Amino acid sequence: MNRGPIAEINLSALQHNLKIIKQIAKNRTVIAVVKADAYGHGAVEVSKKLVAEGVSYLAVAFTGEAKMIRDAGIDAKIIVLFDRTNISDYFKYDLIPVIHDKDIALEFSKEASTQGRPVTVHLKIDTGMGRMGFSPERAVADAIEISGMPGIKIEGLMSHFSEADLADKSYAVRQLEIFSRTQKSISEKLGYSLISHMANSAGVLSFGEALLDAVRPGLMLYGYSPFSEQYGLEPVMKVKTNILMLRDLPAEYPVSYGRTFITKRESRIAVIPTGYADGYNRLFSNNAFVLIRGKRAPVAGRVCMDITLADVTDIDGVSEGDEVVFLGRQGEDIITATELAARINTIPYDIITSLGSRARKEYLH
Ligand SMILES: *Cc1c(COP(=O)(O)O)cnc(C)c1O
């Protein structure tokens, strides 16, 4: 399909970011989070590269994502963070479920006897995120009970921070304390230690005590930090297309739906074949720049479904077919997901998943 933008995925940048994670995490095991199609970068290609660079654990949200990775011939361990359905797929594709309660553990135990082989699991403790997981009060008793269920091998213990990206770490510290206490009791009672992991990107970057046995970064892999400091990370995704046509409009002429942009002078407007259907948010209307010939051109008027207009009056020598960059570097300048996120009051995660998931992808090796 010849519509919409191209997301260029730079796998060397991914490799570089993994190196930075390993340095900061002092060579602990990296559980690479590739959920949501690797945050829009393409889970299969990203996973292949990460495994080639020595990553032994991947994490996805749902079993369907894990199946795609397995079908591509990747044999790393895969942790499935959220799925409670398709239990037989865990056996078929050799996946590691995160267990959030006793009932689901029982279902896995039953399926294990049906299948005639055990399943390795990680248990999740809800230390204050309030999403999924065992309550800390019950976790020790429940873990002991689950460890006795036939066909269940508990390998890991995890939790998730709700606000490790804040400068004020007091809540994250509390969550870590609860986790550490629970983890210690469980290990004592079981008589063996479990792989414990809690740190997302924010935890890796700002909370050394939370590194534990393994780290679980997503965002950092793709070249962004949840803080203003970027720690030498390199954005992996560039989203680009080409100018479809140029319009020379007189002064006082309205541009796009609702006449929210009126030319102040004779203006040259670039018509760009990417819109909100491609994940370029409509809130970028009159509120962002694109790069053309290495310069910033302001988005003029409302972003449409398939088209965005940009004012290129101040850029010399613009031609139809010129490259337009929505996200990433062109020449000396760069538009980051952090910049775009700040413009529309969201987070870089939202920008890269929206743009990346809909674009055709090209991989630079
Ligand atoms: C998404 C996710 C991560 C990764 O978070 P980042 O902020 O992208 O590093 C880690 N753990 C869990 C449980 C997640 O859902």
Domains of the chain as residue ranges with CATH: 10-222 (3.20.20.10), 237-363 (2.40.37.10)
Mutate to test the pocket of ligand 1, among 161, 200, 212, 219 (most ligand atoms within 8 A of CB): 200
Distance (angstroms) between ligand 1 centre and the Cα of 35 equals 9
Task: Decide if 207 contacts 164 (C-beta within 8 A).
Answer: yes
The residue to mutate among 34, 65, 160, having the most atoms of ligand 1 within 8 angstroms of its beta carbon, is 160
For residues 330 and 339, give the distance between their C-alpha atoms in angstroms, rounded to a whole number. 15
245-249 and 195-199 strand pairing: unpaired
Model confidence pLDDT, tens digit, residues 96-140: 999 999 999 999 999 999 999 999 999 999 999 999 999 999 999
Between CA 12 and CA 363 the distance in angstroms is 10
Cα separations (Å) of 114 from 88, 97, 308?
10, 17, 55
How far is the C-alpha of 68 from the C-alpha of 218, rounded, in Å? Answer: 18
Task: With 0.85 as the threshold, say if the pTM is over it.
Answer: yes
Closest residue CA from atom 6 of ligand 1:
218
Which atom of ligand 1 is least distant from the CA of 165?
7
Distance from C-alpha of 324 to C-alpha of 330, rounded to nearest angstrom? 9
Tokens of 329: 């570097």
Cα dihedral across residues 92, 93, 96, 99: positive or negative: negative
Distance CA 77, CA 159 (A): 19
- Residue identified by tokens 């004592």 is 188
Dist. CA 133–CA 114, nearest whole Å: 26
| Residue in 22, 35, 153, 224 annotated catalytic | 35
Q: What is the pLDDT of residue 76?
A: 98
In the chain, count H helices and then E strands: 11, 20
Tell me, rounded to whole angstroms, the distance of Cα 151 from its chain centroid.
33
User: Which residue has the least CA distance to atom 13 on ligand 1?
Assistant: 160
Interval between CA 102 and ligand 1 midpoint (Å): 23
Is 291:340 a contact under the CB 8 Å cutoff? no
Residue 242 φ/ψ, nearest 5 degrees: -130, 150
**Residue-level pLDDT at 4:** 81
- Rounded CA-CA distance 15/7 in Å is 18
What pLDDT is recorded for position 2?
Answer: 60
Instruction: Judge if the beta carbon of residue 5 lies within 6 A of ligand 1.
Output: no
Token pair 């991947």 in the structure block, residue: 58
Q: Which residues of the chain have pLDDT under 70?
A: 1-3
In angstroms, the CA 200 to CA 211 distance is: 9
Q: What are phi and psi of 304, to 5 degrees?
A: -95, 180
Asked about 257 being catalytic, the answer comes back as yes
- Nearest of 127, 34, 45, 26 to residue 81 by alpha carbon: 34
User: pLDDT tens for residues 192-238?
Assistant: 999 999 999 999 999 999 999 999 999 999 999 999 999 999 999 99
What is 163-222 written as a DSSP string?
STTSS--HHHHHHHHHHHHHHHHHHHHHTS--EEEEE-HHHHHH-GGG--SEE--SGGGG
Q: Are 225 and 219 in contact (CB under 8 A)?
A: yes
Is the CB of residue 33 less than 8 Å from the CB of residue 50?
no
Q: Find the 218 Cα to ligand 1 centroid distance in Å.
A: 6
- If you count them, how many residues does the chain have? 365
**Are the C-beta atoms of 292 and 323 separated by less than 8 Å?**
yes
Tokens of 340: 């775009």
